[in-house]
Chains A and B, each alone.
Chain A
């Protein structure tokens, strides 16, 4: 029975990691924009929703404003800053790192450094009991959300005209421009989608764990692990990698508690040694 609990919990934690990584796999994996500010947008969404919810705004409205707010902030950053250095990875690293520090310090100045936690979505608090199995409702729902989100975003990219334009814009920018695709607009929207997803993860992930001005980088690190192990730009890859990381973390902590930090990165190193392009990566496209 405890094995079932551990497995479910590993999947739930993996689902949280997927929520965080889904946005990054779009901005970094797909658009090839190195975005070290991903964790900062995660915080931005979480803190906005927390702020509104504690002032009495309806939970779902607070969440929506948090997500849209961070998406708009992301688009502004893309338009004003990142747009100018498209394709230049080193300036992107420095710029987005600086952006992450600025956002983190603004949060510190505004909300203080004590950790906060956005509320658990209404109706999802407490455990469910299925026979002898006691498991938190919220975590169970999280697994469903992650799988649903993965399907939705994959379908969006694969089967819709917008998705086709995005793939075209990413694969060959000049050719896409010549056939009339508005590449800058596409990039702007995709970046907004990525930061919006980060913010959504901040609202829900913050309820799962908690948020503090410095937790953005912890999240970024795990998201990078998932995106790279899953294969750059592959949504199904990110889902598989996230769930695998969740399970490895869970069982690593149960079976070898003294090696908690080691088991995860050892597993990732093994994956990359055998498949440098990641689990479901397409190999070297460039």
Chain B
């Protein structure tokens, strides 16, 4: 022991570990945005924001895009929103509720976050939201879509992104009335998001006077969609409604085209959003879908997001980038209404009054903290050598209760109970 080679080897290992540790602390999303070390100081004080998005696991790509959207907006404002220097603390939401809650606790107790922005996984959001309410730290959700997260009036939770059923209710009406497809087969995913996204479409579609003739649900991460695609009742249905975000969408579309199914397809917007569209390419041609965002929106606000995001991440802007960016705008306008040190009460009160002109169009919140925004009916078309969701029509000011009104809507049974009952 203690011979030079041994000591050298120990030194080398220590040096390597230090190098790895140094790399690890660097933010994976963007550099140059304010971090705890470089937080700009504003005239009215500072606000510590905890960004809680997945940086590992299956949702890592989404979480990184949301963080990039938020931080890029912050960067465009020099790290100061409405006179407050924003100190950003980032934690990894991880892949399970226990880890997510631990990280939320860490943000609140150690980093003294005064507000938490983020959450992609609804199961984690269901665990983190009650904790933050009890800790009296306002929460602004940027992706997690479970309908039930914004069902409490005047609560602690706000959400800029969609509820699972919000964006597709207008599509149900559009498919029946405008496109004139009278009988739909539903092909979805067998978990809460899939049921809610299928149910929202089915409700509006049937109430518009059309009929769902078949419901097929496949497990999450289905490798081969062949068996499901082959079960579609091609003789009965005249349109297929599809819910399959991420790689499920890629596989589903591929199987759909490979087996030569000729029925037109309508879809939840996340089935063909810009995270998967470059890979889906020609298999997605002509798919009509609805979502609160598409990079095709023509407005100065969206041009700013698209330019910043494309330059930073070297890929197309998408709904997650907009969710992060819009969260930044919402925070900015909330802070504009506050003087002095922000308190949880003043933040919540200010958030309810926010009305911003974000890349996706006007955004405000309902009494339950859920965002109200335009929903775009889009069509996948070839454009400039790539594929894009071009806008067919805009449905203005869509809320989580669509045209039903909150009192009536809240008496409906949950979509998990209604799964399988839409088809007559």
Q: What is the interface of chain A, defined by CB distance below 8 A to chain B? A: 2, 5-6, 9-10, 12-13, 16, 108-109, 112-117, 125-127, 129, 134-136, 138-139, 208-210, 212-215, 218, 222, 249-250, 253-254, 257-258, 260-261
CB neighbours (8 Å) of A115 from chain B are 246-247, 250, 276, 279
Contact assessment for B223 and A253 in the assembled complex, using a CB-CB cutoff below 8 Å: no
Do residues A108 and B60 form an inter-chain contact, with CB atoms below 8 A? yes
Cβ 8 A contact of B230, one of A2, A129, A213: A2
Residue of B nearest to A136 (CB): B258
* Smallest Cβ-Cβ distance to B318: which chain A residue: A114
Give the distance in Å from the alpha carbon of A2 to the alpha carbon of B315 in the complex: 41
C-beta contact mask, B277-314 vs A, less than 8 Å → 1, else 0? 01100000000000000000000000000000000000
The smallest C-beta distance from B97 to any residue of chain A, in angstroms, reads: 19
**A residues in contact with B251, CB < 8 Å:** 209-210
B231 touches A260 (CB 8 A): no
Interface residues of B (CB under 8 A from A): 28, 57-58, 60-62, 64, 190, 216-219, 221-224, 226-228, 230-231, 246-247, 250-251, 254-255, 257-260, 275-276, 278-279, 315
Tell me if A's interface is mostly helix, strand, loop or mixed: helix
A230 CA to B57 CA, complexed, in Å: 31
Is A114 a contact of B230 with CB atoms below 8 Å? no
Residue of A nearest to B313 (CB): A112
Bound-state CA distance A5–B58 (Å) is 32
Residue of B with least CB distance to A12: B226
Partner of B223, one of A5, A134, A209: A209
Please tell me if the beta carbons of B58 and A112 are within 8 angstroms of each other in the complex: no
In the complex, A215 Cα to B60 Cα: how many Å? 13
Docked Cα-Cα span, A218 to B58, in Å, equals 12
Contact A117 B226, beta carbon cutoff 8 Å = no
Complex Cα gap A113–B66 (Å): 13
Residue on B nearest A207 in the bound complex, by CB: B254
With a cutoff of 8 Å between Cβ atoms, the chain B residues found around residue A214 in the complex are: 57-58
State A117–B255 Cα separation when bound (angstroms).
13
A residues in contact with B254, CB < 8 Å: 117, 208, 210
A195 to B315, CA, bound (A): 31
Given A113-B61, A212-B58, A212-B246, 15 other A-B contacts at CB below 8 A?
A: A2-B230, A5-B230, A9-B226, A13-B223, A13-B224, A114-B276, A126-B258, A129-B260, A208-B224, A209-B224, A210-B254, A215-B247, A222-B223, A253-B227, A261-B219
Q: Which residues of B contact A222 (CB under 8 A)?
A: 223
Query: In the complex, what distance in Å separates the CA atom of A208 from the CA atom of B279?
Result: 13
Q: What are 7 A-to-B residue pairs whose CB atoms are below 8 Å?
A: A12-B226, A112-B315, A114-B278, A126-B257, A134-B259, A218-B221, A254-B227
Q: Which B residues are in CB contact (< 8 Å) with A112?
A: 61, 64, 315
Contact yes or no, A116 B228, CB < 8 A: no
Q: Is the CB of B228 within 8 A of A127?
A: no
B248 to chain A, nearest CB (A): 9
Q: In the complex, A117→B257 CA distance in Å?
A: 15
CB neighbours of A127 from chain B (8 A): 258-260
**Cβ–Cβ < 8 Å partners of B276 in chain A:** 114-115
Pairwise interchain contact B259-A136, C-beta atoms closer than 8 A = yes
A116–B218 CA distance with the chains assembled, in angstroms: 21
Which partner residue on chain B sits nearest A260 by CB separation?
A: B219
Chain A residues with CB under 8 A of B227: 6, 9-10, 249-250, 253-254
Whether A138 lies near B230 (C-beta < 8 A) is no
